[in-house]
Amino acid sequence: MDSVLEIKRLRKEYKGFTLNDVSFSLPEGFIMGLIGPNGAGKTTIIKLVMNLIRRNAGEIKVFGLDNIRSEAEIKARIGFVYDNPFFYDDISLKSLKSAIAPFYPKWDERLFQKLMEEFDLPLKKKFKTLSHGMKMKFALAIAMSHDADLLILDEPTAGLDPVFRIELLDRLAALMENERKSVLFSTHITTDLERIADYITFIKDGEIVFTAAKDEILENWAVVKTGGDRFESDGVPGLRGYRRSEYGVEALTSDAGAARQALSRDDVLERASLEDIMFFMSKGERHG
Amino acid sequence: MVNLIRKELILNRLNILIFGGMIAAYAVYMPLRKVSSGFLMVSIGVISAFLPISFQAREDRFKGAALNCSLPTSRNQLILARYVTGWLMMTAGIFLTIAILLMIPGGLTIVHSLLTLKSLILWLFIISLVFCLILPFTMRFGFIGVLVFLVALQLLGTLMLILSLMFRGKTNAIRALFNGISGLVRTLKAGLGETGFLLLGVLFILIMNVLSFFISRQLFARKDL
Amino acid sequence: MKIIISNSSNLPIYEQIARQIKNQIMSGELREGEPLPSIRKLAHELQISVITTKRAYDDLEREGFLDTVGGKGTFVSVQNKDLMREKKMKIVEDKLNEAVSQAKMLGIDLEALKVMLSLLFREDE
The whole-number average pLDDT for the span A134-148 is 93
Tell me the shortest Cα–Cα distance from A181 to chain B, in angstroms. 18
pLDDT given at position A73: 94
Contact pairs from chain A to chain B, CB under 8 Å: 76
Kindly identify which residue of chain B lies nearest to residue A139, measuring between CA atoms.
B67
pLDDT tens digit sequence for B166-196: 766 555 666 777 778 888 877 777 777 777 7
A66-70, A97-101, A143-147, A159-163: least confidently modelled range? A159-163
pLDDT tens digit sequence for A185-239: 998 888 878 878 999 999 999 999 999 999 889 889 999 998 888 888 888 888 8
d(CA B7, CA B81): 10
d(CA B35, CA B43): 11
The whole-number average pLDDT for the span C109-115 is 90
Kindly identify which residue of chain A lies nearest to residue C9, measuring between CA atoms.
A271
d(CA B15, CA B22): 10
Share of chain A above pLDDT 90, in %: 55
- Subunit contact C49:A271, Cβ cutoff 8 A: no
Residues of C within 8 A of A223 (CB-CB) are none
The whole-number average pLDDT for the span C110-121 is 90
d(CA B209, CA B143): 19
Kindly identify which residue of chain A lies nearest to residue C50, measuring between CA atoms.
A198
d(CA A147, CA B129): 44
pLDDT tens digit sequence for A68-82: 999 999 999 999 998
The whole-number average pLDDT for the span C118-124 is 85
Average of per-residue pLDDT values in chain A: 90
Give the nearest partner residue to A196 out of C14, C41, C47, using CB atoms. C47
Phi (first) and psi of residue A3, to 5 degrees: -90, 135
Query: For residue B39, what are the CA distances in angstroms to A136, B46, B82, B126, B201?
Result: 49, 11, 27, 11, 19
pLDDT given at position A288: 37
Among chain C, residues having any CB pair with chain A shorter than 8 Å are 10, 12-14, 38, 40-41, 43-44, 47-52, 55
| Neighbouring C-alpha atoms within 13 Å toward the C-beta of B97 | 31
The whole model's pTM is what? 0.84
pLDDT given at position A284: 62
Residues of B within 8 A of A66 (CB-CB) are none
Angle at A47 between CA B12 and CA A104, to 5 degrees: 55
Domains identified in chain B, total number: 1
pLDDT given at position A64: 94
d(CA B50, CA B160): 26
- Confidence band of C101 (pLDDT split at 50, 70, 90): very high
- Confidence band of A133 (pLDDT split at 50, 70, 90): confident
pLDDT tens digit sequence for A228-285: 888 888 888 888 888 888 888 899 998 888 888 888 888 888 888 888 888 888 766 6
**Burial of residue B14, with CB atoms counted within 10 A of its CB: 0-12 exposed, 13-18 middle, 19 or more buried:** exposed
- Subunit contact A197:C49, Cβ cutoff 8 A: yes
Q: Which residue has the higher pLDDT, C94 or C87?
A: C94
- The boundaries of the domain holding residue B164 are 2-222
pLDDT tens digit sequence for B105-144: 777 777 777 788 888 888 888 888 888 988 888 888 878 8
Average of per-residue pLDDT values in chain B: 84
pLDDT given at position B170: 52
pLDDT given at position B171: 54
Q: Is A75 on the interface with B (CB under 8 A)?
A: yes
- Subunit contact A72:B65, Cβ cutoff 8 A: no
The whole-number average pLDDT for the span C24-30 is 85
Does the structure show a pLDDT above 70 at B95? yes
Best mutation target, A169, A175, A180, A198, to test chain C (most C CBs within 10 A): A198
Q: Is A95 on the interface with B (CB under 8 A)?
A: yes
Give the nearest partner residue to A215 out of C44, C47, C49, using CB atoms. C49
Phi (first) and psi of residue A150, to 5 degrees: -135, 125
Does the structure show a pLDDT above 60 at C40? yes
CA atoms C17, C20, C23, C25: torsion sign: negative
d(CA A40, CA C81): 57
pLDDT given at position A101: 95
